[in-house]
Chains A and B, each alone.
Chain A
Amino acid sequence: MNAPAYNFAYLDEQTKRMIRRAILKAIAIPGYQVPFASREMPMPYGWGTGGVQVTAAILGPDDLLKVIDQGSDDTTNAISIRRFFEKTAGVATTTSTTDATVIQTRHRIPEATLHAGQVLVYQVPIPEPLRFLEPRETETRRMHALAEYGLMHVKLYEDIAHFGHIATAYAYPVKVNDRYVMDPSPTPKYDNPKMDNCAALQLFGAGREKRIYAVPPYTKVVSLDFEDHPFSRYRFDAPCALCGSEDSYLDEIVIDDRGGRMFVCSDTDHCESRQAQGHRGIQNAAPHKEAPHG
């Protein structure tokens, strides 16, 4: 039988070179979607194959890798991807946002400010911000080439006409470097401002759709809006029940079948770091302590 044997970080060097070329082109044209010959990975399309290929192409033996899904290091798919790289590349892994050199993420940007030298790799399901306005790739590529983004502004305007505000809660479109309209991947719009002038390199991989795009460090990223309807962030207005954070994005957790809810940080590393520093929320007050907030 043809027994399989795999290279460092799974992909063969030829494939890595092809992906690195696409990444370099993406960095050179911020926000532009570079087609690449995406490979079948040993995990399903739609489960992070784009991000995994980008990570595999940039990972070196000295890297410290963090993988999050929904902000958490402990969601099943994050664990699965982390274990994939532990197994195929033997790299060290961490849950610390600050220590990691490469962070692969799905649906969130970490709360802690990223620093120079770090790479944030996003998993992207549908890279085309115009896709749900125009299903044809031939059309949307032309629209990008001509910077013809009127359709998107009409959509946002129609939201305002219908609802009085822009009704997009996640995957909120941004303009990169005053040129390309880009899909930030399905992150909540709360995370959008973190992309602007970010010190870390941001890479986006869409495996099934075969596209890579990038935001180089310190690049201007603006959420689309109107002068009289400026972009606004959304977060549920409550402190985290575990760490008391007033400014982190929260997960809503159903705790009983009588409408009981609690809100906790979606970024588990952020929450745990705060708790380690002694911060407490109402659900997590240490016994015999007088004040619930540390």
Chain B
Amino acid sequence: MYVAVKGGERAIENAHRLLAHERRGDKDVPEITLPQISEQLALAVDRVMSEGSLYDRELASLAIKQARGDMIEAIFLVRAFRATLPRFGATEPVDTGQMQVRRRISSTFKDIPGGQILGPTFDYTHRLLDPQLAEGFVPEAPAAAGSERGATPRVTDILGRDGLIEPSPKAEDDQPVGDLTREPLSFPADRDLRLQNLARADEGFLLALGYSTQRGYGRNHPFAGEIRFGEVEVEFFAEDVGFAVPLGSIELTECQMVNQFKGSATEPPCFTRGYGLAFGQSERKTMSMALVDRSLRARELGEEVRAPAQDEEFVMSHSDNVQATGFVEHLKLPHYVDFQSELGLLRKLRKEFAQAQAEAALQEAAE
């Protein structure tokens, strides 16, 4: 006899206990600590902070540990926590021109004021697995900068002085900063909301979309005007004291793409910009973001919208990996009720089909 499925509650508890056990793994192996994750898996932490929209290395490390290294799960944990935090306001815009640069490259000019600084990068490493790293490797101390480092103005600002590139949009101080986590998104969306969406977007999704523009699906002729990574100061305007007070500094990666623009009836030909910004060192993310940002400006620049990367409703509705993974994975939930309904419909359609076939055969035989 069938007994109605009971005991779901105990099953869930047991599954969670088993998960906790599996998360710890072999207990003879030392437990991984949050500082280890934060220091040695730093780029994973950067990604979780960026897509989780919360700058907190310790919580991001905890999320990675709790998620057993599943990045989207870790991002989800951070997002769910972030959603409950009270909002005090928005900081002053950060000035990336004043960044304490640790890496800074331009592919548009051979030399630039402040110089090209390679910094810590995988670029030009040969991708050979390094057995030395398996255990106990002590790296050499890094080479220290010999000379005084001068100012590092943004490459786009240098181009901007000659009017060769469109100016950066001016901040509208009287306008509130858009926030799609606080207001429902509607289309068409302005660039501030698009950039926020892209900053939170899945790195893999942006990478694929950015790549698609390079392969001709909405080509926009990009040059990596500048990619910079380093620390910037964050300031908050405090009503009580009447001026902006520093909150601390954060690590950011910024990418400014410089894109060809042929001009229009009203605009002279000039370079245009695509912009990417992320927490920590996230070059792939910011470069992809800049490509997609520029693509999404098609409408504004009077370009024909033909490719997926130019379609803001398509991009913005599918870029969020927490949303995407939830809905894809919800197919794991029971659907018996709808499935029963579909079974009923299918049986009916098959019966009608068989009847029609039989009648046709009968008629053929009669003829």
Residues of A within 8 A of B (CB): 1-2, 4, 6-7, 10-12, 14, 35-42, 44-47, 49, 69-72, 74-80, 83, 106-108, 125, 136-138, 163-164, 167, 169-171, 186-190, 208, 210, 234-236, 241-242, 249-253, 255, 262, 264, 266, 268, 271, 283-284
A80 with B12, Cβ < 8 A, contacts A47-B330, A210-B184 known: yes
Chain B interfacial residues counted at CB < 8 A: 54
Please state if A190 and B84 are interface contacts (CB–CB under 8 Å).
Answer: no
CB–CB B337/A170 < 8 A: yes
Residue of B nearest to A49 (CB): B326
B58, B188, B329, B345 interface centre (most CB from chain A within 10 Å) = B345
Instruction: Specify which of B80, B329, B342 lies most central, judged by the most chain A CB atoms within 10 Å of its CB.
Output: B80
Complex alpha-carbon distance, A236 and B181, angstroms: 44
Query: Is the CB of B27 closer than 8 A to any CB of chain A?
Result: no
With A40-B79, A252-B343 as contacts: A241 and B2 at CB distance below 8 Å: yes
The interface residues of chain A lying within 8 Å CB-to-CB of B327 are: 45-46, 125, 208
Check A236 against B344 for contact (C-beta < 8 Å). Answer: yes
Q: A49 to B76, alpha carbons, bound, how many Å? A: 13
Q: Are A74 and B184 in contact (CB under 8 A)?
A: no
Q: How far is the CB of A253 from chain B (nearest CB, A)?
A: 6
| A253 nearest in chain B by CB position | B2
26 A-B pairs (CB sep. < 8 Å): A2-B56, A6-B84, A7-B84, A35-B186, A37-B181, A37-B182, A40-B83, A46-B326, A46-B329, A49-B326, A69-B333, A71-B337, A75-B5, A76-B334, A77-B333, A80-B12, A108-B337, A138-B187, A163-B352, A167-B349, A169-B345, A186-B335, A186-B338, A188-B341, A255-B2, A271-B4
> Majority SS of interface residues in chain B?
helix
Instruction: Verify A138–B80 contact, CB threshold 8 A.
Output: no
Q: How far is the CB of A292 from chain B (nearest CB, A)?
A: 13
Chain B residues with CB under 8 A of A74: 4-9
A283-B8 contact given A4-B81, A77-B334, CB 8 Å threshold: no
A90 to B184, CA, bound (A): 30
**Which residue from chain A places its CB closest to the CB of B331 in the assembled complex?**
A46
Complex contacts, B56 vs chain A, CB 8 Å: 2
Contact A1–B58 (Cβ < 8 Å): yes
Count of A-B contacts with CB under 8 A? 159
Name A190's closest neighbour in chain B (CB-CB).
Answer: B341
B325 contacts A by Cβ under 8 Å? yes
A45 touches B84 (CB 8 A): no
Query: Residue on B with the closest CB to A76?
Result: B8
Q: Which residues of B contact A12 (CB under 8 A)?
A: 84, 86
> Is A138 within 8 A of B313, CB to CB?
yes
User: Across the interface, do A42 and B2 meet the contact criterion of CB distance under 8 Å?
Assistant: no
- Of the candidates B80, B181, B327, B340, the one having the most CB atoms from chain A within 10 angstroms of its own CB is B340
Min CB distance, B67 to chain A, in Å? 13
- Does chain A have a CB within 8 A of B31? no
B183 interfacial by beta-carbon distance below 8 Å: yes
Find A76's partner among B12, B323, B341 (CB 8 Å cutoff): B12
With A and B bound together, what is the CA distance between A255 and B1 in angstroms? 9
Bound complex: CA A250 to CA B4 (Å):
13
Q: Which residues of A contact B323 (CB under 8 A)?
A: 45, 208
When A44-B326, A125-B327 are in contact, do A36 and B184 touch as well, CB less than 8 Å?
yes
Q: Does B185 contact A (CB under 8 A)?
A: yes
Does residue B11 face the partner (Cβ distance < 8 Å to A)?
A: yes
Provide the B73-89 mask, 1 if CB < 8 A to any CB of A, else 0.
00010011111101000
Q: Closest A-chain residue to B73, C-beta based? A: A44
List of B residues within 8 angstroms of A186 by Cβ: 335, 338
> What are the residues of chain B within 8 A of A163 when measuring CB–CB?
349, 352
With a cutoff of 8 Å between Cβ atoms, the chain B residues found around residue A1 in the complex are: 58-59, 62
Q: List 6 additional A-B contacts (Cβ < 8 Å) besides A38-B184, A47-B330, A255-B2.
A: A4-B81, A14-B86, A44-B325, A47-B326, A106-B333, A167-B349
Residues in B neighbouring A187, C-beta threshold 8 A: 337
Is the CB–CB distance between B8 and A75 below 8 Å? yes
Q: Name the contact of B11 in the complex, choosing from A4, A76, A190, A266 (C-beta under 8 A).
A: A76
Question: B340 contacts A250, CB within 8 Å?
Answer: yes
Specify which chain B residues have a CB less than 8 angstroms from the CB of A268 in the assembled complex: 4
Residues of B within 8 A of A44 (CB): 76, 322, 325-326, 329-330
Rounded to whole Å, the gap between the CB of B36 and the closest CB of chain A is 16
A71 to B336 alpha-carbon distance, docked (Å): 10
Q: Return the chain B residue nearest A250 by Cβ.
A: B340
Contact with A along B83-124 (1 / 0, CB 8 A): 110100000000000000000000000000000000000000
Partner of A208, one of B12, B76, B79, B326: B326
Distance in angstroms between the alpha carbons of A251 and B9 in the assembled complex: 21
Q: Which residues of A contact B334 (CB under 8 A)?
A: 69-70, 75-77
- Residues of A within 8 Å of B326, CB to CB, are 44-47, 49, 208
